[in-house]
Amino acid sequence: MITLICGSMYSGKSTTLLMKIQRAIYGRKKAVLIRAKIDDRGYFTHSLGNEELRQFVENKKLTVLEISEFTEEKVNELCNFFDSIFIDEFFMIKNCALLAKKSLPSNDVYFGGLIATSENEVFSEMIEILPYCDEIVKLNGVCMECGSQLGNYSLYKGGNKTQTIEVGDINKYKCVCKECYLKINGRL
Ligand SMILES: [Zn+2]
């Protein structure tokens, strides 16, 4: 089964992914967490700051890999060895659709990530995996401006971006609702 966990920044995607990882491990599945390895900037996503996650890794219950691109060989290797495959920030990894397409019916694959850039341009990786997803979980965050539960926009706070994916945290991005997004952009 393939599940997509998507939404804006700070909508709880990684927390939801962690919950799924816990369930897989408690169910004695062979589990792997794949994170994006981004060129020369090292890898991003959230650190292994979560204590439970760190213990899973230390106790060899969870394998963590950094990948920049899915190849045919890598996909076959992953699907044959692991039961449960978790991908955090999948849109930063090239060729995700190959994993979605080639995974076996016995594999549980979870893709977690943003739908679009802070300019609301949908990531091509997102579009490419959609036909293969059996379940889609769409999360909203809390608006960090007004407190609305409809925080659906990732607002970039740093002026002009130099690249489509700019690795950042709470200092660079915040989650806002449509009303606040439009107000901040002077369109309301
Ligand atoms: Zn708001």
Residue 90 has pLDDT above 60, yes or no: yes
Amino acid identity of residue 179, one-letter, is: E
Residue pair 183/153 in contact by the 8 Å Cβ criterion: no
CA-wise closest residue to 141 among 115, 174, 187: 174
How far apart CA 99 and CA 54 sit, in angstroms, is 25
Q: Which of 57, 100, 113, 108 is nearest to 82 (CA)?
A: 108
Whether residue 106 is predicted with pLDDT greater than 90 in this model: the reply is yes
46 pLDDT above the threshold of 60: no
pLDDT digits (tens, 9 = 90+) for 129-147: 999 999 999 999 999 999 9
Question: 121 C-alpha to center of ligand 1: Å?
Answer: 20
| Identity of the amino acid at 11 | S
Contact 75, 81 (CB under 8 A): no
pLDDT band at 169 (very low <50, low <70, confident <90, very high): low
How many angstroms does the Cα of residue 155 sit away from the middle of ligand 1?
A: 11
Residue with tokens 């700070």: 10
Q: Does residue 41 have a pLDDT over 70?
A: no
- 89 catalytically annotated: yes
Q: How confident is the model at residue 39 (pLDDT cuts 50, 70, 90)?
A: very low
pLDDT on residue 168: 57
Q: Find all residues with CB under 8 Å of 131, minimum gap 6, and list them.
A: none
Domains (range + CATH), the chain? 2-139 (3.40.50.300)
Catalytic residue of the set 58, 73, 89, 179? 89
